[in-house]
Amino acid sequence: MDCLSEAKLLQYSKEACGHPGDYLLQSIKVGTVRAWCGSLHSICIAQVSLESEMLASFIISLSAIAVIAFGFPVPDSFNEAPVVDVTIFTPPADYNIPRTLYARTLLLKESNKILATWENYSPQPPLVYYPIFESDDLGQTWHEIGQVHDQVNGWGMRYQPFLYELPESIGGFPAGALLCAGNSIPANLSNTQIDLYASLDKGYVEVRCMFALPRLMKYSRTWNFVSHIASGGEAIPDNGLTPVWEPFLMMYNGYMICYYSDQRDWPAHGQKLDHQISYDLRNWAPPVNDVAYSNNTFRPGMTTVAHLPNGKYMMTYEFYGAPEIAFAVYYRQADDPTKFNEAEGQVLRASNTGNVPAGSPYIVWTPVGGPNGTIVVSSGCCSTAFINRGLAEEGSEWIEVNTTAPASYTRSELVMPDQDLVLLTGGGVLGGTDNRVTASTLNVG
């Protein structure tokens, strides 16, 4: 969206508040302004992405005049506070069981806004899609800003979304572009298709009224199809069938890696973990094994990867076939994140409880908690999380810690701007009849 004129910005502000002339403008960071509209009844925000530093400078000056003239303060930003069982989305009663599942989040680097999406079991038609919700107060409140729809298959975007912000340009897509990978699957579950979508919208206008007043207007980001990554068969997790599952994106050495679970190599493998790479997001190299056991009844699944400060990359996955427990959480480390298949798998076991987490893990690393920072792993088995302050090296301890977040299938993790805090976001449990999407933070500092 082109930079809006001052008059247009004021028009949005006045329309939102309903009190012409009763407004403030304040620049809160380079390239962003907020129009605060004050009255006895409401405070509203019109937020506009700018492409003109000249307009930003003008509004900074106008803001100083307005503060003097109107005499009430404008907050600089929202203070980061713990997020405790915040509901992002409660599905309507007509949603199909499990209603919601498989939540994923993304912190936008420049704005500190958080995006969230999930598997959305809305009634069909229309085709299922991934909702995109946003929080501009670090997880305390959320609102919908867009949707990712299937634009090419006629099946819907059904399972396993993943959000990613490009840290650098690739294939004509600029740094800061948003990506969404996910599994497009028809209602009869006959096919699986991991597809990639992108959002290039850098400007949007949003008018939001606070103090429980309704949202008056909003402009959503747009998403467009980029490429097919991997195609598979029937979306049922049985050995002998050939679906693909659970994409995870990460840039490395100037190219994109898409990790996923792959059942297509039967009868050699019931399921294995693969990745494919791309230098332009449109063309993808052939699959390469990341975890592939010779026993074809074994089913490693659900890759997530974190970069550690010693230069190593650490993958977590669930391992059906593990001797400890079905779907035990395992991990591998490698200097090169395309060579996990050369590394040995290790079981995650908490030294303080003896517990081995099971199912749908997620890993992040945060620099707080000691000279090596802290590795944090969540699992679908339980409300607790598992931390390691020794880079998961031999002899280091895993500690099981309590959280305020409920257990949730493939609960995601996100390191917050206050890096003591890790946001745990879940969409509920498999087969859940009252699932909702919730978020809570864990303090690991």
pLDDT band at 110 (very low <50, low <70, confident <90, very high): confident
pLDDT above 60 for 305? yes
Report the pLDDT value the prediction gives residue 79, as an integer from 0 to 100.
56
Residue whose token pair is 């000056």: 61
Sign for the CA dihedral angle at 63, 68, 69, 75 comes to positive
Segment holding 56, helix H or strand E: helix 53-70
Q: Where along the chain do its domains lie? A: 6-70, 86-201+220-443
Burial class of residue 395, CB neighbours in 10 A (0-12, 13-18, 19+): exposed
pLDDT 10s digits, 394-421: 999 999 999 999 999 999 999 999 999 9
Go through 195-205 and write b for each residue having 16 or more CB atoms within 10 A of its CB, e for each that does not: bbbbbebeebb
pLDDT above 70 for 238? yes
What are the residues whose beta carbons fall under 8 Å from the beta carbon of 175, sequence distance 6 or more? 166, 167, 168, 169
pLDDT band at 220 (very low <50, low <70, confident <90, very high): low
The pTM assigned to this predicted structure is 0.82
| Residue (of 421, 444, 432) closest to 82 by Cα position | 421
Q: CATH class for domain 86-201+220-443?
A: mainly beta
Reading the block at residue 268, the tokens are 């050699």
Task: Give yes or no for a contact between 425 and 437, defined as CB atoms under 8 angstroms apart.
Answer: yes
| 371 preceded by a cis bond (ω within 30 of 0) | no
